Amino acid sequence: MPTTALRRTASTPSTQRSTSPKTTASQAKRTAIAKAQAVAPDIPAHIGSTPATTFRGDPDLFGQLVQDHDRHRALLAMIGETVGASPERKKLFQELALELKSHAAAEEQALWSTVMRNPQTTDDARHAVSEHKSIDDMLADLAARDMASAAWMRRFAALREVYLHHIREEEQEQFVAAQKHLSPTDVRYLHTVFNRRKKAEKASTKIEKKIKLKK
């Protein structure tokens, strides 16, 4: 990572955005939903209203993270529309698990490992990483259980609630705090790191199947 850029931002944080063209928030959301629906085109993706954020549609790292989040919101909504151990539920859950795991790993490398070194954002970074671990455990637990059971859907509903809370907190609080301590150069570089790591993770990640939760 460019040490000169990070050293500079330690004393002169910037809230400037990328100079690349910005798409509208609605366009960015539609793109994210379309990516989710490509997995199971016949399943509706009703994500409803989403938390307000100034990042949606930005061409930088934070805009990419929010677009991923909208894609995950759509996948969660679509799984909620499926029945039993249908092929659609299996495909959508596999895609959700790969997306969440690869996104979390890339986000931790590109963003949280960087801002964790700043005392003003250390707690935010630790909180986000801790929640990633909890979500990963919930995914592994779901993967190990009978997808056709009512109990599976109850556990899935719990995962959905936890994840939606997690990404709302990131978008409205933690990303805002992190951006204040990164220069535009930092953000562009970290965007490249994120994309490279997520692509590699999604291609190689295995979905763990292990019952980890008693309730």
Q: What is the pTM of this model?
A: 0.90
Mean pLDDT of the chain: 91
Phi then psi for 3, rounded to 5 degrees?
A: -70, -30
Q: CB under 8 Å to 44, separation ≥6 — which residues?
A: 77, 78, 81
How far apart (Å, rounded) are the C-alpha atoms in residues 175 and 50?
16
What's residue 10's pLDDT?
39
- pLDDT above 60: residue 1: no
- pLDDT above 90: residue 122: yes
* Assigned token pair, 182: 């990164």
Phi then psi for 149, rounded to 5 degrees?
A: -85, 155
Q: Quick check: 110 and 182 in contact, CB under 8 A?
A: no
**Mean pLDDT score, 152-171:** 98
Residue 27's alpha-carbon distances to 22, 57, 58, 59, in angstroms, are: 10, 7, 11, 12
Ranges of H-type helices in 19-86: 25-37, 61-80
What's residue 213's pLDDT?
82
What's residue 24's pLDDT?
94
